[in-house]
Amino acid sequence: MNIVVQKFGGTSVANLECQKQVMKKVLRPYREGKKVVVVLSAMAGETNRLLALAKEWSDNPDPAEVDSLVSTGEQVSCALFTMLLKQQGVRARSVLGFQAFIHTDCSYGKARIVNIDTDELKNMLEENDILVVAGFQGCDEQRRITTLGRGGSDTSAVAMAAALDAEVCEIYTDVPGVFTTDPNICNDAKKMDRISYDEMLEMASMGAKVLQIRSVEFAQKYNVDVHVRSTFTDEMGTLVTQEDIDMESVLVSGVAYDKDQARVTLVHVHDEPGISAAIFVPLAEKKVLVDMIVQNPSKNGRTDMTFTIPRADLEQTLKVLESLRYEIGYEELLYAENVSKVSIIGVGMRNHSGVASRAFKALSDENINILMISTSEIKVTCLIEDKYTELAVRTLHKAFELEEGGMKPESS
């Protein structure tokens, strides 16, 4: 069975006109005699609308009920799109997460896929030529609906492609591929023909929401080539694939940013063994994703501990830390919400020096103050005031000549 997986995001299924456009893409492989698994998101804005309803109804909505609520967005787009297909005489049906046996753990709101029943899907594909699968949702051991985190339909699609050993996994969206940075904030952003899994993973982790992080993890683990492309044009997009030697030929491949950040500082904690564990273990237990951590040198046995978290986790983080005030023994708990992260990413950084210093110089020439820095083998991240985000992105994009295909190591 030749199977093609195609995923369409919220703006691609936003209304009837868009869905007709989607149908053209879906019918192409179908007419070539292939089986098509179409993974759909909720119509643009729908997931946000449903989340807002949950907040209106309850100060502290039950997480399992929130998942049950927000998963309906995908159910609507799948049912409507299947109606369009059936009108064309196509053998098709909609398939929800529990019907496709997409088993997840029970972390409501950020569930992980543990298993997909491929036999069941293949049976459905015997009887149908196109399956329209609801993205973003699964089902846990207690047969409750779960969701996979924002942008989770990307992960549903890649997981389907891996499970069904599909020949192609295409992610259709509102931009023509993965760009050197978000094309919606930088006019000079260039579409990449290819990007390695590692780079895409860093881009996604650092805020480039064009693919959900977990979808890239899945693709890398199961060696699925992912083709990111536009719903509204026919041009080739970007292939997310294994690294090859050409990819190292530029120092920096992309710039990402993340505005949904907050910074927390614990002032004058005791500098003694176990202090980091006392702070970060309880946060990890609440599934707070701590990113940059800086501990200052201690004075008189006391130090300051500063770290960043997603802004959505701030309330929870402050609650946990306030409840541990005496255990941790800090003097003051400070936080800031007006911060964002900008990152430069590139496998070319592995073997070349001077990349971070060039980035710092470029930001300083624009008078942008760096609040925190973190680095990995293929990434440098700076925390800055959020009002400078767009300027910082454009500045770094220019500093590494990304509009011209990227700075080569020898010219650095």
Binding positions for ligand ADP, rule: CB under 6 A: 9-12, 41, 151, 173-175, 178-179, 181-184, 203, 208-210, 254
Closer to ligand ASP at the Cβ: 72 or 374? 72
We find the least distance from the C-beta atom of residue 179 to ligand ASP, in angstroms, to be: 19
Residue 346 lies near ligand ASP (rule: CB under 6 A): no
Residue 400 lies near ligand ASP (rule: CB under 6 A): no
Question: With the C-alpha atoms ordered 104, 105, 107, 111, is the resulting torsion angle positive or negative?
Answer: negative
Closer to Mg ion at the Cβ: 67 or 248? 67
Q: What count of Cα atoms within 13 Å lies in the side-chain half-sphere of residue 127?
A: 8
Sheet strands (E) in 35-98? 35-40, 92-95
Instruction: Tell me the residue type at 341.
Output: K
Residue 177 lies near ligand ASP (rule: CB under 6 A): no
Candidates 6, 39, 69, 73; binder of ligand ASP (CB under 6 A) is: 73
The residues with which 267 forms a beta bridge, in sequence order, are: 332
Q: In this structure, are residues 382 and 363 in contact, taking their beta carbons and an 8 Å threshold?
A: yes
Q: Which listed option, ligand ASP, Mg ion, ligand ADP, none, makes contact with residue 181 (CB within 5 to 8 Å by class)?
A: ligand ADP
Which listed range, 41-49, 161-169, 193-201, 240-248, lies at the site for ligand ASP (CB under 6 A)?
41-49
Q: Which listed option, ligand ASP, ligand ADP, Mg ion, none, makes contact with residue 47 (CB within 5 to 8 Å by class)?
A: ligand ASP
Q: Which listed option, ligand ASP, Mg ion, ligand ADP, none, makes contact with residue 176 (CB within 5 to 8 Å by class)?
A: none
Spatial CB neighbours of 27, under 8 Å, sequence gap ≥ 6: 88, 90
Q: In this structure, are residues 355 and 349 in contact, taking their beta carbons and an 8 Å threshold?
A: yes
Rounded CA-CA distance 152/137 in Å is 8
We find the least distance from the C-beta atom of residue 300 to Mg ion, in angstroms, to be: 49
Nearest to 178 by CA among 200, 156, 201: 200
Phi and psi angles of residue 147, each rounded to the nearest 5 degrees, phi first: -125, 160
Number of residues lying near ligand ASP (CB under 6 A): 13
Residue 152 lies near Mg ion (rule: CB under 5 A): no
261: enclosing H helix or E strand: strand 254-270
Residue 153 lies near ligand ASP (rule: CB under 6 A): yes
Closer to Mg ion at the Cβ: 138 or 151? 151
Residue 209 lies near ligand ASP (rule: CB under 6 A): no
Spatial CB neighbours of 39, under 8 Å, sequence gap ≥ 6: 5, 6, 7, 8, 133, 134, 135, 153, 156, 157, 160
Candidates 42, 116, 305, 382; binder of ligand ASP (CB under 6 A) is: 42
Candidates 29, 97, 138, 151; binder of ligand ASP (CB under 6 A) is: 151
Q: What count of Cα atoms within 13 Å lies in the side-chain half-sphere of residue 97?
A: 36
| Number of residues assigned to the chain | 412
We find the least distance from the C-beta atom of residue 226 to ligand ASP, in angstroms, to be: 14
Residue 29 lies near ligand ASP (rule: CB under 6 A): no
Candidates 136, 197, 307, 400; binder of ligand ASP (CB under 6 A) is: 136
53: enclosing H helix or E strand: helix 46-57
Q: Quick count: other Cβ atoms within 10 Å of Cβ 132?
A: 26
Candidates 135, 151, 176, 348; binder of Mg ion (CB under 5 A) is: 151
Number of residues lying near Mg ion (CB under 5 A): 2
Spatial CB neighbours of 243, under 8 Å, sequence gap ≥ 6: 196, 197, 198, 199, 347
Closer to Mg ion at the Cβ: 9 or 29? 9
Closer to ligand ADP at the Cβ: 50 or 320? 50
Which listed range, 30-38, 150-158, 181-189, 306-314, lies at the site for ligand ASP (CB under 6 A)?
150-158
CA distances from 198 to 38, 55, 231, 381 (A): 26, 36, 25, 16
Q: Which residues form the interface with Mg ion (CB under 5 A)?
A: 9, 151
Q: Which residues form the interface with ligand ASP (CB under 6 A)?
A: 9-10, 41-42, 47, 73, 135-136, 150-154
